[in-house]
Structure formats: structure tokens, C-alpha cells
Structure 1
């Protein structure tokens, strides 16, 4: 497959600029780049999710991939980063979902369907049957099922996005072995990953993207870690450092927190007026760590304390009552209620301004006054506070999500991927809002896979890799390259 001169723009952002690749049968072509480099956009172009503004894709002839189905019919299949399956169905039915004939039965596979899925599962080395309940399988097993789905049919090219991000070292090694076998069978594999050790083991060709452009291409004989890391790094001025405030008492203490397969033996403390950054490439565990601290998950050992008092695990309600608020990375799905107005979103928190509730009834005027204040202070661009939050731009949704968390007046503010998918101007505004939040007798913990979000903002930066803290850095003195050096496996 030849990809030539691909351009793609989203509004004012040039996501891809003149990107070309040659993807050959029997080869693994790795695509590397930091967050925002254009990898996800390129994957979506290759698999028909979005169409490029210009450029061409050629198989044995020029083709137009106007949908994922069209791409699949032409032999291009994808294994996405997220495991998205229907838990109520068997794994075999999930593997065939969307590929069945019109008379397929939901609960039972036909003999021919079972044979088709079983053959694909054997090819990827799966140790479970096509009739296994999806809900009973582990994440590594589900990942193998996704790979098996990619093999059904006559596909010649498999595109994988961070396939080992949620896997242990042993499970990742097994998956890589299966990919090596597929390559030896003549499949063309496009492999997107942050894990250089996997790329160096697997790849025949590496293309490096930066700022939407292909800035380097290497054959296996010329792989060089230092050169590749140098090309991946953005050559931009570091963000302006925020003023350092005098610290207050310790407000959040995390001691020896472990959850097998997610994070291990994490300890830190954060004082009032301080911002702690937790940096890691996708799949390093920083987002799962924040969710566990906020009561959205359990852990096998360790303790969490707010202002010296222990916080029971596994209860969002108790963590909230202890003074915690989490702004999740999925702002549209969990950070805001998209179908509600900005006003209603900001009045939802139980600890919001009591004037918005009287005797169990909503005070609409008070709600509107509260919302207008946040819209003004946070610089939210909207028609008025009655506008649906889901219709705002990404940056403005993030501001509303942050405002909603601060409306509960938390002692500890946890925020995951604060500037994911927002433009440069909104990033600067969100950084200023986080520093302002830390100055109000609280502490802030920011988890980010975009390291620029933390430099000059966080007072201390912990770097996580494969669920463990591998470095502790001065947030006002470190560099992007130093963080990347510790973060890459």
C-alpha cells in the first residue's frame, strides 16, 4: 500500500501535512511520534474513519476509503487502542459483529461461524473458545480476540494502535510473537506505539511524525534510539514557568498504592498551594492511578489520606466527602453532561453554592448567577449559560469540566489529561486556571501524556512507566527531553 501526500486539517489545526508511507507485505511499519504528532489522524485516514483533504492511497490501484467498511472490503483492518466489545455476547459473536449475514442469531454461532472464529483464534494463539462469554475474559484475551477479528476475511494490512498499552510484559510479549508470525505469513502491519523496545524488536521500517509531518524514515539496519527520540521531540520554547507560592500543610498523601496490572507501589505527598504532575506515555497507569485515588477503582495495598485522614477505597461518594474532585480525561463522556446546559452542569455538584438550592428546590436565578460568574472567570466562549455544554468546543468543554469540579470547593483537585485535544490558546488558559486553583488553599494533581502541560506548571513531576514511578523531577527546572528519556520503555 502506498500513501502519498496526505493532508488533513481540522479547523485551524493542520493535523497532517504531506505525509507519505510505503507499507509493504511481510513487513512491520512502525509509526512513532509524541502526542499530537498526527498518529491517530493517520490511523483514521488509513482505516476509512476520516477522509483526507488531499493526497492518495494506492493498493493495486488508487482507492477511496470512504468508511471503515470500505477499508475492510479492500483488505485493511484495524485493532484500536481501546477494547470496545459487547459483554453480553459471546466472544465469537463479538469477533463477527458487523460481519454476519442478515440471518445471524445473537446467542448461538452457526457451525460455519464457529469454524471461522476458531480458526482466527488459533492463528493468534488464543486459549479460549469462540463460545466463551466476553465478560469472563481478561484484557489480554480480549486484545487477542480483536486481533483475530482483524484476520477474518482476506485482509492484507492490519493497523494496530498502541496494542500493548494495557498488557503486562508477559502478555505483550505473547502478542508481539503473534504479530511476528503474521508478518512471516505475508501480512503488512502498521504498528503505532510509544514503546521503543517493542518497535526495535518488531519493526522493519520506522516513520517518525512530528507536528503532522513525516520527519524521518529508517530501515531496520539504521535504527538509532537517540536519533529517533531527537526527531520525536518538539522543538518549541518551554512554557513560561508559573510563580512558586509558599506551600501549606500536606493535603494529599498516597503511600504504597498498588493495583496489579495497573500501577505498583506509588507513594507521594502534595502540600497546599502545590501542583504535582504525573507524566507518562499512554498506558503507563497515571490515569488509572488518579481514578483509584478518587474512589473510582480499588487497589490491593496502600493508603490514601486527605489532610491526614484516611479515605476508604472504592467509593466515589466517600472520596468526594473527604474533599476530592476528579476531572476525567473523557470530558465529554464523564466530565460534563453534554445534554445539559452550562448552567445546570455547574449547579450539579453537591457542594456547589447553597444559594442555588432552597428547601430542595432549584434556584434558577442563583444558578444562572453562579454559571455566569464561572463563564466570565474561566473565559468560556458561549452564547449564554443556557447553551448545551455538549455543543461547546473541546477547550471550552474542558473549562466547564474544570469549573464544575471547582464548584464543589475541593481540597484536592485531580485532573487527567487537562489539555487533550485543545488548541494552544486554550492550553495557556487552562494552565493559568490550574495555578489559580492551587493558590486557593488546595493542592492539584495533574496526570498528562503531553509533557509540555506539566513543565513550568507543576512544582514536582513524577514520571511513570509501566505502572511504576521511575523518576522525580523539579517541574520548574526539567526539560521535555529529560521527561521523555525516563518515560519511554
Structure 2
């Protein structure tokens, strides 16, 4: 079964998301779609999977022109999707979420039969998940939820599989496992549409690459002509060397953050470090190593069993978000859509949410003109691509959502900026912009970055701590180390 998009066009109000976009995916082929955030990739995927309907063009499946008015209609013709966002019901066990919409009419709502549990656990094993089908969904981390989504897509897979950033929250090992599974699906004759910002995955997996820019096709490449430098230049109109300039650090200031022998059972153990002003500390580790949980504990969102966190020499209460915030800590979480921004609020309202947001309140009342001016300044300085500051933050592309999430944290003028997975799921151009914003942020404060994508830290962080199984196992010079050295310490 093959699928063809012919001259697809789509507008949202006055914004042209797609114009005259065509691509053809054949059986036994992986067709990758690349482009910067806002280039139209997600809209194209939504058209193909029946989430939105095109204003122009047609979708042809096995020679038949079809109208896919709903995701169910897409599934019925054999199109299976793994969306970019993790959308699951937290009150249900994860196995029921995996089967949601795929079960028969007699299925129990909150529990699994033995047969259902076997089906789910086989699928979870295929994607490298290490949790049980009966685990409450609310108890799982974002990477674990992503694995569950992938498992769902592998149950009753159709002949056309559409994946939007499937490895964004996965460790290198789990991503490699998934890619191997996709290669097997391709060998079985599936037609696969693959959207990813990880160019190394694309060059490994793709038979054909279509590059979008500003909602139009900017280039196509077959496997024999896949060249990273050329693809980056077509995507961005800039070379990779100009996208990722080396930056110089300012001389270190006084110690701002001190972590002493922090431990939380099952998450991390005996973690100690200091961070001075004007410095960036990177904390590297494969998914599950504890670096994200460590940042949440430092920020007061999660508790810990022993140890101490000091800001400016003053100890703060464990598990107290309010005390941590008042002391000058601000966390940008990995789940930017769920926790980093309020999607239904405007960009302006998001940036005015921090209670320390400069000059946007007086006697508890909002100063709307000051809010708007502040938002326009951040949109300009952070190069947020939007129609205006009144646009809902949830309608922005992933990279622009991350910029708003970062701007929201900086609007509170923290002493220490903590950021978890800063470039997860964003394109190469947005990654470079976010790196530059983080280096600039360090001119006025200390910055701590937790990342499972080690390239985010190399050349940016002044020092890199490597975590493995919840413990710090190495401290490296972030300006002189390389990917191989970090990986050597990070892998079990």
C-alpha cells in the first residue's frame, strides 16, 4: 500500500501553513520529512492522519483519492500515527491507555484481561519499556509515556505508519531499539513517514527525504544523496558552522548554587556540586539516569531523602517549590507543553505569570500595557515566530514553545536557571538559537542544564557532570570533551 499527497495547501486564518506540498511514500520505504520548527511538518502530518483537512490538493492511497475527515477514517484505510504530543488518560493503567480505542465492546474500562495484558506487554517489550502494563499512567515519566505511545502504534499496525518525533524523549539505547524495529517494519513492506530533528537518525533510516521550508517543499533527496551539510543548508539557508558558533564564557562569579550529598531513594544518590555565577553546568545522562529528577528536586518540585540545597549560601526547605522560587530558582521542565507553558493562554499572559515578572503588576493588579511591551521584547529578542503576542502558546511550534517557556522562567529574573532537555524535539536552527539564549542567560546568573542529548552540552557548558544510574560518575571540561568521552561514562 502506498500513499501520495498531491499539491496540499492549508491556511489557518491569515497564516499559510502549507502550499503546493507533494510527497509519495511507497511500500518498503521510509520517507523522512525535515524542516525547521514552523516549516509545516506537523500540519502535513495532521493532514495525512485526518486531524485537519486540507484547503487544496488530495490524498491518494493505493490509487484512490480519499477524504480523511477524522483520524478514525485514516486508521480504517491503514494509516497508523504516533503523534508528537503524549496524550494519555492519567487515571487509567498504562495498558488500558495503550489499547484505548482498539479494544472490543466487552472490554473492562479500568482493568486488563489476561489476553489484553499479554498483547500490551509484548508491544512494550518491542519498544524497550521496562514497566508493567498495570502501572498507573500518572506514575510514569514523560519518556516512559512516549514508549507506551510507540507500543500502541505497533499493535495492529496498518500498512502506512506515520511517526512525528518518536525518539525525542528516548535514550540513545531505546532510540536505537526503535529504529531497528522501524527497519524491520520497512523490510516487512510498510510505508513509513518519519519526522525527526535528529539528522543522524534520518541518514541511517531514510530512503527519501523531503525538506520543508516556510510551508513549501525546499528540496528532495534520495538515499544516495543524503548529505548532512546540504540538508541543513536547505532547511535553514545557513551552514551548520554558522548555526552553532563557539561562545566564550565570562569569568566565574561567586558560588550561587550548592548541592550537598543530595539523595532520593531509587532516583539519585550522593550528588554534590557547586555552580558559580556566569557559568553553565551541564548534567549529562541517558534517559533514566536521574538528571531530570535531580533538577526537579533542587527546584522543590520533588522531595528528597537527605542532603541540602543552598542558594547564595542560604539553605532552602526540601520539597518546597515556593521556598525554592523565592530563593531565586527557576525550572524549565522537559515537558514544555504540559508544564513549561499554559497552552490555552496567550504568549503575553504566559510571560506575565511569574510573580516576580518585572513591572507587570501594581498592588496585585495586572498592567496590561506593560505586559504587552514585555512580551513584545521577549518575542523580538528570543526570535519567537508568531503572529503576535496574543497568539495562544499551545499553537506554536515546538521550538517556539521552548523559547516561550525559557522566556517565562527568565522573566522572573532568577539567580539560577534550571532547564531540563532544552532542545528536545526542536530543529537544528532552533537548537542553535536556544544555545545562544542559554549562553546569554548565563551573563546574569548560573545555569544548570540536564540533557540526554549530549550535543546540547558540548561546547556550551563550562563543566559537565555525567550521571549513571543515579550517581555522578565523572566531571568533564565542557569545552574540551567530546561526544565519545561523555558517552563512555554515561553508558552502563
TM-score range, shorter chain: 0.5 to 0.7
Cα distance in 2, alignment partners of residues 260 and 17 from structure 1: 55
Which residue number corresponds to residue 217 of structure 2? 213
Aligned-pair distance for 1:29? 0.3
Which residue number corresponds to residue 383 of structure 2? none
Which residue number corresponds to residue 323 of structure 1? 328
Give 3-state SS (helix, strand or coil) of 2:221's partner.
strand
Check whether the contact 2:25–2:192 (CA below 8 A) recurs between aligned residues: no
Cα distance in 1, alignment partners of residues 91 and 193 from structure 2: 31
Check whether the contact 2:146–2:169 (CA below 8 A) recurs between aligned residues: no
Distance 1:448 1:102, change over 3 A: same
Cα distance in 2, alignment partners of residues 83 and 267 from structure 1: 33
Give 3-state SS (helix, strand or coil) of 1:189's partner.
strand
Which residue number corresponds to residue 472 of structure 1? 478
- Count of matched residue positions in the alignment of Structure 1 and Structure 2: 457
Check whether the contact 2:10–2:17 (CA below 8 A) recurs between aligned residues: yes
Check whether the contact 2:171–2:286 (CA below 8 A) recurs between aligned residues: no
Cα distance in 1, alignment partners of residues 296 and 202 from structure 2: 29
Check whether the contact 1:208–1:231 (CA below 8 A) recurs between aligned residues: no
Aligned-pair distance for 1:122? 3.9
- Cα distance per residue 1:190-220 (max 9 Å; x no partner): 344455665566x36141525353634334x
Cα distance in 2, alignment partners of residues 42 and 88 from structure 1: 31
Distance 1:388 1:190, change over 3 A: closer
Choose from 58, 66, 85 the match for 2:69: 66
Unaligned runs of 5+ in 2: 381-388
Choose from 92, 109, 116 the match for 1:106: 109
Which residue number corresponds to residue 413 of structure 1? 417
Distance 1:448 1:137, change over 3 A: closer
Which residue number corresponds to residue 163 of structure 2? 160
Aligned-pair distance for 1:320? 1.7
Aligned-pair distance for 1:287? 7.2
Cα distance in 2, alignment partners of residues 129 and 445 from structure 1: 29
Aligned-pair distance for 1:59? 1.3
Distance 1:262 1:207, change over 3 A: farther
Give 3-state SS (helix, strand or coil) of 2:50's partner.
coil
Which residue number corresponds to residue 386 of structure 2? none
Question: Residues 295-334 of structure 1: matches in 2 within 5 Å?
Answer: 295-297=300-302, 306-307=311-312, 315-328=320-333, 333-334=338-339
| TM-score normalised according to structure 1 size | 0.63
Which residue number corresponds to residue 50 of structure 1? 52
Aligned-pair distance for 1:157? 1.6
Per mean C-alpha deviation after superposition, the further-off stretch among 249-258 and 93-102 is 249-258
Distance 1:55 1:291, change over 3 A: farther
Distance 1:116 1:180, change over 3 A: farther
- Cα distance per residue 1:351-410 (max 9 Å; x no partner): 5689968xxxx5437x56864774576579xxxxxx988589859998986675456442
Aligned-pair distance for 1:44? 2.5
Distance 1:312 1:420, change over 3 A: farther
Check whether the contact 2:80–2:157 (CA below 8 A) recurs between aligned residues: no
Q: Which has the larger radius of gyration?
A: 1
- Cα distance per residue 1:287-346 (max 9 Å; x no partner): 777656534457999986544556676543343233112345666653455677999877
CA RMSD in angstroms comes to 6.1
